[in-house]
Structure formats: C-alpha cells, structure tokens
Amino acid sequence: SNSWAFCEVIGDSYVGGIAGESGTIKNCYATGSVEGNDCVGGMSGQNGGTIADSYANVHVVGHGEYNGGLVGWNPSGIDRCYATGKVDAVYPPSGGLVGATHIDPEQWKPCWAKNSYYDMNTTGRYREGNDENGYPKTTAEMMTKATFTTWDFQNVWWMIPGKTYPLLRPVKY
C-alpha cells in the first residue's frame, strides 16, 4: 500500500513492476520497464488479491503468454486502475490492462477489472472492453475526468484535464 516503483525488471515468469505474484495492492504506481516470459505485468505478474486505486506506466515485454500493461494473469480483482505503457507481447493472450483472466469456480473466485482502463494508443493494444479485461480508451479520453466516473477525485486522485492522466494524491498520515 502507498508505494511506488521505478523499475527495470528482467526475469523469467511472474514478473511485475511492484510484485511478481501479488496479494492486495492499493494506492501504488509503477513506471519503467518489465521483461520476462509468461505472466508479465506492469504492476504484477499474477494478481492473487485485489489491486485498487493504482496505475502502471511500464513498458512490458513478454516473450511468452499472459502479458498485460497492469497484470499478466488476473485470477482475482482490479478496481479503479489503469495502464498506459507499451505492451510488446509475442504470443496471445495479451492486453493493455490484463493479459489473461482465469475463471474456474473450483479453484478461483470470478475475476474482474471493474472501473479500470488502458490507453489503447500508448499500450498498442485493443481488446473489446469488459469487466474482466478493462476498457480501452484513447489518450484524449484517458486525460478526461469524465471517463473516471466512479473514481474519488476528492481524496485519492487528481488530474489536470487534457494534460495528465489521473495521478494519486499524496498519502495523509
């Protein structure tokens, strides 16, 4: 929680800018680059908890499967997050926000990525938007406050419309 990383990560599988395999991540951001084989993400290689109110501007390079701008493999939940970094992936599935989701009622709870977006221009990815993989938006839409209707711009986020993506406010202790 309340963390950031400027990363240059090179690994095998399950690599990310904040964590390889994560539990709960909240109020975090990552910038830089992450490279690996399978399950490579700008924030986390595999999301094992909930990622909320966080973002990644990370160049993701995946040489295998399940690579995404925020999370490589998402068998859990994402809420109020976004990704803007380029996603270079050799094999599908890959995505601007999430590389792949996994729904297996015997092993995992249903996965979701609600209220979450990725910049389809800067990530170089487009997949029809849904509550599992996030919603693609243009750069102009990503810099418009109206895109983020459920986000808390009083306490958590701030932005200069037309000039910045949403940014996290400093944490008050």
**Rounded mean pLDDT of the chain?**
92
* AA identity, residue 78: I
Collect all residues with Cβ–Cβ distance below 8 Å to 107 and sequence separation of at least 6.
none
Q: How confident is the model at residue 42 (pLDDT cuts 50, 70, 90)?
A: very high
Are 2 and 28 in contact, with CB atoms under 8 Å apart? yes
pLDDT at 103: 57
Residue with tokens 């419309």: 161
| Global pTM value | 0.93
What pairs with residue 8 in β-bridges?
33
Q: What is the percentage of the chain residues whose pLDDT exceeds 90?
A: 77
What token pair was written down for 11?
A: 């690994």
In tens, the pLDDT along 94-130 reads 999 999 886 555 554 567 889 999 999 999 999 887 7
Does residue 22 register a pLDDT over 90? no
Collect all residues with Cβ–Cβ distance below 8 Å to 64 and sequence separation of at least 6.
13, 36, 37, 38, 39, 40, 90, 91
